[in-house]
Amino acid sequence: MTLAEFFGCTCLAFGPPFTMFVFTIAHDPIRIIILVAAAFFWLVSLLLSSIVWVALIPIKTYLQFAIFYTVLFQEIFRFAIYKILRRAEYGLKKITENSTTLTENKHILAYVSGLGFGIMSGAFSLINILADAVGPGTMGLKAGKETFFLTSSAIGLCFILLNTFWSVIFFNACDNRNYINLGYVILSHLLASYLTLLNSQYNYWECITTLYILMIFTGCFALKIAGGTIHSLTNGLKFKATI
């Protein structure tokens, strides 16, 4: 039973991102490099957050403050990967055969880097949880809720997709100096992160519902910014490469 729970939760959290990777990134080595680079930048932001966490001993009991500076570091490094990719566009255009879609459509760079951010974020948030899901026991026997693993996987998937959408909005906001959209990314990231505190009181339903409403809205927002339509979205769902 525990092994089935492990594979079920893993497929729930990483199944959609893996599908996105296979159909939109895996065929292009440049996109793979960008995805790995973005994942590395997220790791650096995590490293800095960990250093602050260890250094500021008196505030270790205040998780709310830790969430704030962790989100701040992530957004700083999202901006850093944005600056690097914009400076590297000319070089990317020289070395890639698919330059008309990779460099002229700037939303692709944002999408790929955002997915890299999200996958690494999801991996680090779920790796220990999924390891515990293998067994020998399961949640809900003496403590906790039996839906803990399922809830964690659903939240992990939500943050992977949110990071992808946030990057599309963030890159476009930086290009156009749209500080309102930039503020939306930062504030919605903070809101989503603070919503996870509801899980400490076993308010899983409230947390997941609110997060997925935020994810759907952010996804529609990102789709509009990228110039997508309902028609292009349905074509994409029919396994036709649209990016």
* pLDDT value of residue 113: 93
| 77 inside domain | yes
Tally: H helices and E strands in the chain: 9, 0
Residue 2 binned pLDDT confidence (cut-offs 50, 70, 90): confident
| 243 inside domain | no
Distances (CA, A) of 82 to 9, 154, 189, 205, 216: 32, 28, 17, 35, 24
| 205 inside domain | yes
* pLDDT value of residue 132: 74
Which candidate, 88, 83, 81, 92, places its Cα nearest to that of 30?
92
| 28 inside domain | yes
* pLDDT tens for each residue of 44-95: 999 999 888 888 766 666 788 889 999 999 999 999 999 998 888 766 666 6
* pLDDT value of residue 202: 79
* pLDDT tens for each residue of 107-151: 888 999 999 999 999 999 888 888 777 766 555 545 567 778 888
- Full domain range(s) for residue 113: 2-237
DSSP string, 20-45: HHHHHTTT-HHHHHHHHHHHHHHHHH
The rounded distance, in Å, linking the Cα atoms of 10 and 8 is 5
Domains of the chain: total: 1
Distances (CA, A) of 74 to 37, 79, 80, 90: 14, 9, 10, 26
| 199 inside domain | yes
* pLDDT tens for each residue of 8-39: 888 988 999 999 999 889 988 888 999 999 99
* pLDDT tens for each residue of 200-239: 787 888 899 999 999 999 999 998 898 777 766 666 666 5
| 242 inside domain | no
| 143 inside domain | yes
